[in-house]
Amino acid sequence: MSEKKLGRDIFVALAAIGWADGNLDPNEADAIVRAAVESGLDLDEIAEIEKATSKKIDLGVIDRAGMSKEDRLFVYAIARWIAEIDGDVSDEEHAALASLGEKLGLPEKPRAHAESIAREIARMPEGDRPDRYDVPKLRTLIGERLRAAQEARRG
């Protein structure tokens, strides 16, 4: 896992994904704030993220400097999970996810793997509700699978 914590811009971008369909579900908003808290952001940054969940915002700029591939995959996986929380991924959310993937510099195949891992965690018995979704487990699993794929390529 990267030593650098994910910046507040990442979580604001996640809020923009949630808002893409015109409505940020309370469960989606809670999931974004919870992920930010679990990532170790300070209270001022958390307050900014909470504000971003209270009114519609655009995706904006994402600072990838210092983000590892694992970081970028994690952010994309969280975004996909947030888009699916309300049970449907709208065309607008698909477009926002595609834009996020491009801003993160992720090709289609790694995006698909990240989506698969996010769904795998959601299907776990404790992952059926946003307040029980295992965000740290998602991060760990992405890291493990990324390292396994890198080792297989070296193989």
Q: Identify the structural domains of the chain with CATH numbers, from first to last.
A: 8-154 (1.10.3680)
pLDDT at residue number 76: 94
Among 38-42, 89-93, 131-135, the least confident range:
131-135
- Whether pTM exceeds 0.85: no
Residue 37: its H or E element: helix 26-38
Are 85 and 130 in contact, with CB atoms under 8 Å apart?
A: yes
SS3 152: helix
* C-alpha distance across the termini of the chain, in Å: 22
- Largest Cα–Cα separation, the chain: 49
